[in-house]
A and B are shown apart, each in its own frame.
Chain A
């Protein structure tokens, strides 16, 4: 397994009201093929912006992104994104929303089979004809994930897609995404502010500082899947990340998602 994404010294500045604001500063790390990487940071640290830069939806002010060794200029076809909001087309049903992820080049004969496969994978069989307004938040996110996966991208970018879900649905979705990750052998990059989620899902956690986002630490999570949330090792890693955000590192880690 080689390196699939190289993030090389990426800077990002926004001009807001004529004032330059630094969002990201010197972000530099690699993602290996098949790896599950989480980017953790407090809100406003530029982690979503970083994801958009990787996808080619935003330009970096400095530095560059390489995918398979080639620099990203404009939308990167290898990267599909699941956004914070499901962003479904409200006038299309589940079947057609998932089909929207397919390119024009996919022949009609294959479309139906593919769509059905992904509807199955995200557990929405029987909801093909449902409209987005008829779905719960979790189901909407499943549609969005199926839509991102159906074009078989190498890299799936997850921008806090479970952030708005209730705790139980979120745990469920985390399990589903791990299942898909293993089945489909994708590289996943997740942005989250949920420390436990990051430890539970990923091989590697990139911790960003507050604005401007800089890498504070990169932590490899050496735990076997499926990880047990209550275990001591699990707590060790969550505490390691927690320490990076809060000075009172003596305090017992006592929080829940």
Chain B
């Protein structure tokens, strides 16, 4: 058990954790203040703040976030559910495992990003193509981790279930699935984190809203302030997702 931290330690912890972020902001401030780099390359914090106010005023900031987020959620749910179901089947049924082995080995190494043009060709530049990109990325993460989790279930626990007279269905529900769940959760974590990358990339290639679109737009319009707001927005979003995922993980697996 961790000992309760004294007040002094907490302050020290905070300082060490935030040292680099604070130093970076300070450096940023100084470089722009003294004109070490051109404002068209690195905009001043003030410019970024102005861009942010502008985006907030026009409600673009929130709207972009909502667009990107809803794409992530749709794609994530679609990809994760198919990935888990197929992963369970592959992990549990040797015939399905053999049937899909070559398929998985062949298609998994293809970077999702490389498929974006193909999805646009097939599904158009509407929502479907972007959602599919995220769904596919999440699908692979879940498929692989679910298979690993199911195959890694302790055979001794399954034997215990048999001895206790449990049916196959009960064994899957009460032993196999909970035992595989940490691995499945890892897949969910990888899926949600990489989804952020996929949505931004897809939006940069073809979209009319969303954080990725905004970044590309800002570059085309030579508005580095807005470009920076977009990048910071992604960073903060990633940070929040990561924190939530870790908190949930701690809660779910407190038995370990």
Contacts and interface: CB of A to CB of B under 8 A. Distances in A.
A74 to B, nearest CB: 9
B111 to A, nearest CB: 36
B174 A133 contact: no
Interface string B164-180: 11000010001100100
A87 B170 contact: no
A189 to B, nearest CB: 14
Contacts of B174: 89, 100
Contact of A89 (B159, B178, B256): B178
Given A87-B156, A89-B157, A89-B175, A80 B163 contact: yes
A77 B162 contact: no
A131 B157 CA distance: 17
Contacts of A87: 156-157, 160
B185 to A, nearest CB: 12
Contacts of A91: 178, 255
B165 A57 contact: no
Given A90-B256, A91-B178, A75 B162 contact: yes
Interface residues of B, number: 14
Majority secondary structure of chain B interface residues (helix, strand, loop or mixed):
helix
A80 B156 contact: no
A85 interface: yes
B165 A77 contact: yes
Contact of B160 (A83, A131, A151): A83
Nearest to A104: B170
A55 B163 contact: yes
A138 interface: no
A81 interface: yes
A107 interface: no
A248 B161 CA distance: 44
A132 B165 CA distance: 22
Contacts of B159: 57
Given A89-B175, A91-B255, A133-B256, A100 B157 contact: no
Contact of B165 (A75, A89, A131): A75
A101 interface: yes
A80 B164 contact: yes
Interface string A131-157: 111000000000000010001000000
A57 B163 contact: yes
Contacts of A131: 255
Interface of B: 156-157, 159-160, 162-165, 170, 174-175, 178, 255-256
Interface of A: 55, 57, 75, 77, 79-81, 83, 85, 87, 89-92, 100-101, 103-104, 131-133, 147, 151
* Among all A-B residue pairs, the 6 with the closest Cβ atoms: A91-B255, A87-B160, A81-B163, A131-B255, A75-B162, A90-B255
Given A57-B163, A92-B255, A100-B174, 12 more contacts: A57-B159, A75-B162, A79-B163, A81-B160, A83-B156, A89-B178, A90-B255, A91-B255, A101-B164, A131-B255, A147-B164, A151-B164
